[in-house]
A and B are shown apart, each in its own frame.
Chain A
Amino acid sequence: MNYIDNVAFAILLVLGIGFFVKNIRKITRNIKLGKDIDRMDNANARWKNMAMIALGQSKMVKRPIAGVLHIIVYVGFIIINIEVLEILIDGLFGTYRVLSFLGGIYNFLIGSFEVLAFLVLISVIIFWLRRMVLRIPRFWDKEMKGFPKNDALNILYFEMVLMLLFLIMNTTDVQFQEMNSGNLISQFLVPIFESFSLESLHTIERVAWWIHITGILVFLNYLYYSKHLHILLAFPNTFYANLNVKGKLDNLEAVTNEVKLMMDPDADPYAATPEDESETPGKFGASDVTDLNWVQLMNAYTCTECGRCTSSCPASQTGKELSPRAIMMKTRDRLEEVGRNINKNGKFVDDGKQLLNDYITPEEIWACTSCNACVEECPVSIDPLSIIIDLRRFLVMEQSAAPQELNIMMTNIENNGAPWQYNQMDRLNWKDK
């Protein structure tokens, strides 16, 4: 190896990682556009959730076939990355299999990488078959057209190619095959290359090596545009997830203050005007992504569009417009749009659009039964329901735009303390009839 290789490798690495860091910064900035919410309480429970749900994949296996296949790909992904460490060192310093001094341990490691690579390849092929041949319905819902569909396939193809390259690289590495230890899978591929000269084998090995590491860097940068971002965000997302029981919705503090004032007989109605006139009164509920809190925005980036939420949603299953997965996807799309707007203008310039109406329609959010099936199902603790409720709050409290029947229900509660029009004085009549 001459120095040109090493320099080229270093440049590739700096570019690959540089772009990735730049994009991660964008994501972080976009997430921070969300409102503040305290999710630092009870750190023990949070670490435990992250360990169980993200690291331990505890919710994935609730659907056993997809769950087990996913664990294989996940474990493979993490462990094979140890090999990437060696590739980085070899690439930068022109060494050959620098970790091979570990001897038996090295052979054991490489052997397990090969087995894992093979298993990952098989699992990814099964994933592809489930999507494209079995056509499992949740992968073919209305929101899964165009980029979302291609995105899912791109990821599978990326993984197939990367695993194949890794195996080819080992197969055509004559020195490695001669050691005949650790080549648990690649030894069976050697016959394919039997007719090749030593020189061509070396060329194939080098080419596979370069495409493999380039592919990894490209894949790393693809994450930002893809649903595959979950491989990173699943961890913070499960850590910062809601710890309360699912039935509990937050009580809006701004409302509490106003209601208390209204109910306080000693309150001076004229003292209620804010002292600082420049302070714009907060908006009730959410009409755009910047009205949501940062955890909800992180949820949107974390969503991997698996559709378990939608396949368990009573509204989605009965043909309503609502799909909890689409709620998350649309939130991310709008957040990205706001992000691009900021990149271009330095700050957000009104584009006449918002999350509500332009992305998520009232028809969708009014179809929700708040049953929490989507929240229960999500393997990475995303909460689509909280976004639906915040959008409803805006429609009702800022725009009085509830469906007519709900307005009647609410008027009844105001007038006679029940959602139906019965006299409150008749509340105990049941006992006499």
Chain B
Amino acid sequence: MNVPTMAEMMAQGKQPEVLFWVGCAGSFDDRAKKITKAFVKILNKANVDFAVLGTEESCSGDPAKRAGNEFLFQMQAMTNIEVLNAYEVKKIVTACPHCYNTFKNEYPELGGAYEVVHHTELLKSLLDEGRITIEGGKFSGKKITFHDPCYLGRANNIYEAPRELIKKLDVELVEMKRCKTEGLCCGAGGAQMFKDAEKGTKEINVERTEDAIEVKPDIIATGCPFCNTMMTDGVKTTDKEDEIEVLDIAELIANAEDL
């Protein structure tokens, strides 16, 4: 695996085509790290000229902003923007819809204007340009349902890129009764990931997992590390671990051809 950092690139006088913003989940969460690696493997295979910030990366500020801490958010944002601008970053790709949303929509006013793409969008354009090919491989014939991350779907109107990638896998894409604009949240957004839910009758991730179970999928695909955690937990809670796997789109593509 070849993972150059921006600092290394700069030392060699090079400017990568795109910065891969790994995000906190992608850097530290054991499950999400697998998504990060799967994505990097695809980038390597497609010879994408990219780099990461490594230890110079810091939280985008999304959970702080959604929790109401605008100070902390803007501190994070402005610190990140200083780093990004110092490296003259033009384009950012990230596998986290929360980082994606803050960069794309909330950083520009604070002085950080970049072309921001979600990893499913980048993968889709790599596919369109013929830089990667997607084959079903070990997923051929499987039934896959896609859970729309709120910060990709409703927040930014991206519904098709992940679906088009799944369809290329030679699988059956089935939609849950609540999907796209009507997709139900996994329960992690708005900083809920970091706290217990308020008193209620049910956990949101279980409610959502039941939506998925209804369509009897072999795989629940997502495009967000937090949705991944919530759906994985939901599958465990409902005792479906042996029947249903929760995978990120990047993992589907990388694993299909055993990268």
- Tell whether, in the assembled complex, residue B199 and residue A259 are in contact, meaning their CB atoms are under 8 Å apart: no
From A190-198, A340-348, A399-407, the one touching the partner chain is A399-407
* Given A371-B185, A392-B68, A403-B195, A251-B57 contact (CB < 8 Å): no
Residue A249 CB within 8 A of the other chain: yes
Residue B27 CB within 8 A of the other chain: yes
Query: How far, in Å, is A361 (CB) from chain B's closest CB?
Result: 10
Query: How far, in Å, is A308 (CB) from chain B's closest CB?
Result: 11
Residue B58 CB within 8 A of the other chain: yes
* Given A245-B157, A396-B67, A406-B189 contact (CB < 8 Å): no
Q: Measured between alpha carbons, how far is A244 from B155 in the docked complex, in Å?
A: 10
Q: Measured between alpha carbons, how far is A371 from B149 in the docked complex, in Å?
A: 9
- Tell whether, in the assembled complex, residue A431 and residue B3 are in contact, meaning their CB atoms are under 8 Å apart: yes
Q: Measured between alpha carbons, how far is A202 from B200 in the docked complex, in Å?
A: 61
The listed residue (B3, B59, B67) touching A402 by CB distance below 8 A is: B67
- Tell whether, in the assembled complex, residue A427 and residue B192 are in contact, meaning their CB atoms are under 8 Å apart: no
- Tell whether, in the assembled complex, residue A406 and residue B195 are in contact, meaning their CB atoms are under 8 Å apart: yes
Closest B residue to A420 using CB positions: B28
- Tell whether, in the assembled complex, residue B185 and residue A314 are in contact, meaning their CB atoms are under 8 Å apart: yes
The listed residue (A319, A396, A405, A413) touching B76 by CB distance below 8 A is: A413
- Tell whether, in the assembled complex, residue A318 and residue B154 are in contact, meaning their CB atoms are under 8 Å apart: no
Q: Measured between alpha carbons, how far is A430 from B5 in the docked complex, in Å?
A: 13
- Tell whether, in the assembled complex, residue B199 and residue A393 are in contact, meaning their CB atoms are under 8 Å apart: no
Which residues does chain B contribute within 8 Å of A256, judged by CB atoms?
74, 110
Which residues does chain A contribute within 8 Å of B74, judged by CB atoms?
251-252, 255-256, 259
Residue B140 CB within 8 A of the other chain: no
- Tell whether, in the assembled complex, residue B67 and residue A427 are in contact, meaning their CB atoms are under 8 Å apart: no
Q: Measured between alpha carbons, how far is A71 from B106 in the docked complex, in Å?
A: 38
Which residues does chain A contribute within 8 Å of B189, judged by CB atoms?
369-371
Closest A residue to B53 using CB positions: A427
Which residues does chain A contribute within 8 Å of B36, judged by CB atoms?
430
Residue B207 CB within 8 A of the other chain: yes
Residue A258 CB within 8 A of the other chain: yes
Q: Measured between alpha carbons, how far is A317 from B59 in the docked complex, in Å?
A: 31
Residue A225 CB within 8 A of the other chain: no
Interface core residue of B67, B82, B151, B202 (most chain A CB under 10 Å) = B67
Which residues does chain A contribute within 8 Å of B24, judged by CB atoms?
417-420
- Tell whether, in the assembled complex, residue A389 and residue B54 are in contact, meaning their CB atoms are under 8 Å apart: no
The listed residue (B72, B105, B201) touching A244 by CB distance below 8 A is: B105
* Given A410-B67, A427-B54, A314-B22 contact (CB < 8 Å): no
**What are the interface flags for B1-36 relative to A under an 8 Å C-beta threshold, 1 for contact and 0 otherwise?**
101010000000000000000101011110001001
The listed residue (B27, B76, B109, B203) touching A427 by CB distance below 8 A is: B27
- Tell whether, in the assembled complex, residue A368 and residue B37 are in contact, meaning their CB atoms are under 8 Å apart: no
Residue A263 CB within 8 A of the other chain: yes
Residue B256 CB within 8 A of the other chain: no
Q: Measured between alpha carbons, how far is A417 from B52 in the docked complex, in Å?
A: 16
Residue B61 CB within 8 A of the other chain: yes
- Tell whether, in the assembled complex, residue B204 and residue A314 are in contact, meaning their CB atoms are under 8 Å apart: yes
* Given A244-B105, A312-B182, A314-B204, A367-B59 contact (CB < 8 Å): no
- Tell whether, in the assembled complex, residue A397 and residue B68 are in contact, meaning their CB atoms are under 8 Å apart: yes
Which residues does chain B contribute within 8 Å of A424, judged by CB atoms?
55, 58
Residue B156 CB within 8 A of the other chain: yes
- Tell whether, in the assembled complex, residue B27 and residue A366 are in contact, meaning their CB atoms are under 8 Å apart: no
Closest A residue to B76 using CB positions: A413
- Tell whether, in the assembled complex, residue B154 and residue A371 are in contact, meaning their CB atoms are under 8 Å apart: yes
Residue B214 CB within 8 A of the other chain: no
The listed residue (B55, B61, B155, B198) touching A428 by CB distance below 8 A is: B55
- Tell whether, in the assembled complex, residue A396 and residue B69 are in contact, meaning their CB atoms are under 8 Å apart: yes
Question: Given contacts A263-B79, A397-B70, A424-B55, could you give 20 more A-B pairs where the C-beta distance is less than 8 Å?
Answer: A246-B155, A248-B105, A251-B106, A285-B68, A314-B204, A320-B198, A320-B199, A363-B199, A367-B200, A370-B189, A370-B191, A371-B154, A371-B189, A376-B182, A406-B191, A406-B194, A408-B194, A410-B64, A428-B55, A430-B36
| B interface residues, Cβ below 8 angstroms from A | 1, 3, 5, 22, 24, 26-29, 33, 36-37, 40, 52, 54-55, 57-59, 61, 63-72, 74-76, 78-79, 82, 101, 104-106, 109-110, 150-151, 154-157, 181-182, 184-185, 187-204, 207-208
A-B residue pairs, 4 tightest by C-beta: A247-B155, A319-B201, A392-B68, A370-B190
Q: List 24 A-B pairs, Cβ < 8 Å.
A: A246-B154, A248-B101, A248-B106, A263-B82, A315-B198, A318-B203, A318-B207, A367-B197, A369-B187, A370-B150, A370-B191, A371-B185, A372-B150, A394-B68, A405-B195, A406-B194, A409-B194, A409-B195, A417-B76, A420-B24, A420-B28, A422-B27, A426-B27, A428-B3
